[in-house]
Structure 1
Amino acid sequence: MKPKVQFRLRIYRDDSIAIGPGKVALLEAIAETGSISAAARQIGMSYRRAWVLIDETNKALSSPAVTTIAGGSHGGGTALTPVGEQLVKHYRAVENTARVAATADIAALTRLLAP
């Protein structure tokens, strides 16, 4: 079995997580599905939890990460704002940079694991 290495970057604002892995995964799912409820289903989260995470994220940022369109004859939806797109882009870039920078140390640590 190959070891799995996972970075879990969290940026706190006061005592709450403003930006973290769950919120970024939710934003990515919203970008893909166009809906908070579909995104929540996709990542195995309740709609209520997803809504709370989006609300927390929007309140922590200088501008909202998502925008919602009320339902109607064409239905409603949710999309990332430019701020939301930048949040996801930079978060994933930090993860990648950390992974690349830590490659040698990760290899050394995984060699210490039992076969």
Structure 2
Amino acid sequence: MSTYAIIDTGSEQLQVEPGRFYDVRYFASLKSEILAPNTKILIYRVLLIRHESAINLGHPWVKDAIVRGRILHPSFGDRITIYKKHSKKKKRRKLGYRQDLVRFVVDSICLNGKEL
């Protein structure tokens, strides 16, 4: 774990490493019809980069930092069941949904135009 970055995407922060894949809720800048497999993405909202012993911390984002990746496929999350019950009123309601996710793989982390 010598090189990693912390990015802000899908209203959450992820610690990403090159060569690994991650599931995120959505990419704010991409619409659902653009999320085809092998679509290349660039993430500029990089909060922190660690390369060996050097740490670059952004305020709020690191300047000239890019996380390059590509989309593998859209997917669904685990099924979430919501069950509401009002006792003594004989009122029950059961709902469920699955979150839309996008699986992407991180190809490289770049800082000042150089790949780390």
Question: Which structure shows the higher helix fraction?
Answer: 1
By relative contact order (CA 8 Å, sep 6+), the higher-ranking structure is 2
TM-score by length of structure 1 reads 0.28
Q: If you compute each CA radius of gyration, which structure gives the higher value, 1 or 2?
A: 2
